[in-house]
Structure formats: structure tokens, C-alpha cells
């Protein structure tokens, strides 16, 4: 099932303590896809590159709109020696029911 569909399905919506994503899209897009799965009090962890500060700044609107708050950036070194960051977002309140939007919309019109 696509994240856009499962994130709106009451069977999965706001049911998980943690959601994790790889660095496959901009943080504002990943936030829209992943944060609706996380229950209030839970955590969304996004793997990003070594210098994600600009991306974090751009994603603040999406993070807030979807009920989250940026908590911290944790620098890590993967086993292959490549530097990355884990972005930790805490879920403070429920996400609005109209998110995530339909497939393709988050990528074409990010919430930043």
C-alpha cells in the first residue's frame, strides 16, 4: 500500500510509536508521508545527509502543520564510512485528516 493511502487508513493512521524513512525525498515530503502514521507522543526518524540544516528549516511548516516538532539532529557514520544525520521529530498532536494528500501532490507542491 502506498504511504499516501495507508496514512489516511484508520487501521494505520496514528497507530505507531516510531516511523523511519530513508533519505529518498525532501524532509517536508517525508514528513507528510510519515508523520500521519505516528501516534501522539511518538517519533518520526528521517535519515538525511551530513548537512541537513537548510532542509530542516524548509520543512518547519510541514512539521508543525502535521503535529510535529523538530527535536534534534544526530550525526552518524554508516558502516561504509559515509556521514549522515538522523532527524528526530516528536509528534505533539494529531495530524489534520486531509494529510497525507493524494499520490504525487506532496512532491509537486511540498508544504514548505
Q: Which domains does the chain have, with CATH numbers?
A: 3-96 (3.40.50.150)
pLDDT in tens, 11-30: 999 999 999 998 889 999 99
Q: What percent of the chain has pLDDT over 70?
A: 99
* CA–CA separation, 31 and 47 (whole Å): 12
- Exposed, middle or buried by CB within 10 Å (0-12, 13-18, 19+), for 24? exposed
The reported pLDDT for the residue numbered 71 is: 98
pLDDT bracket for residue 78 (50, 70, 90): very high
pTM: 0.91
Amino acid at each position: 500500500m502506498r504511504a499516501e493511502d495507508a496514512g489516511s487508513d484508520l487501521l494505520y493512521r496514528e497507530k505507531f510509536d516510531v516511523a523511519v524513512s530513508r533519505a529518498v525525498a525532501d524532509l517536508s515530503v517525508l514528513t507528510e508521508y510519515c508523520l500521519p502514521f505516528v501516534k501522539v507522543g511518538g517519533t518520526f526518524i528521517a535519515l538525511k545527509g551530513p548537512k541537513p540544516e537548510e532542509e530542516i528549516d524548509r520543512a518547519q511548516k510541514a512539521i508543525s502543520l502535521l503535529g510535529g516538532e523538530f527535536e534534534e539532529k544526530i550525526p552518524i557514520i554508516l558502516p561504509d564510512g559515509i556521514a549522515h544525520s538522523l532527524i528526530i521529530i516528536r509528534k505533539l498532536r494529531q495530524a489534520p485528516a486531509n494529510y497525507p494528500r493524494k499520490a504525487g501532490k506532496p512532491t509537486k507542491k511540498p508544504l514548505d
